[in-house]
Amino acid sequence: MNFNHIVMDNWSRKPYFEHYLNNVRCTYSMTSNIDITRLLSELKNKGIKLYPALIHMITTVVNRHSEFRTCFDSEGRLGHWDSLSPSFTIFHDDDKTFSSIWTLYGEEFGDFYSRYLADMKMYGSVKQFAAKANEPPNTFPISSIPWVSFTGFSLNVYNEGTFLLPIFTMGKYFQHDKKILLPLSGQFHHAVCDGYHASMLYNELQLRADTYKDWLHNN
**Residues forming the active site:** 190
Q: Is 58 helix (H, G, I), strand (E, B) or coil?
A: helix
Rounded Cα gap, residues 180 and 151, in angstroms: 15
User: Residue 49's closest CA among 100, 117, 107?
Assistant: 117
Q: State the virtual CA torsion across 136, 67, 24, 185 in degrees, nearest 10.
A: -80
CA gap 219, 31 in Å, rounded: 30
Q: Around Cβ 84, how many Cβ atoms within 10 Å?
A: 22
Quick one: which of 216, 213, 211, 193 has its CA closest to 62? 193
Exposed, middle or buried: residue 193 (CB in 10 Å: 0-12, 13-18, 19+)?
buried
How far apart (Å, rounded) are the C-alpha atoms in residues 88 and 201? 19
As beta bridge partners, residue 99 has 90
Instruction: Count each helix (H run) and each strand (E run) in the chain, helices first.
Output: 5, 10
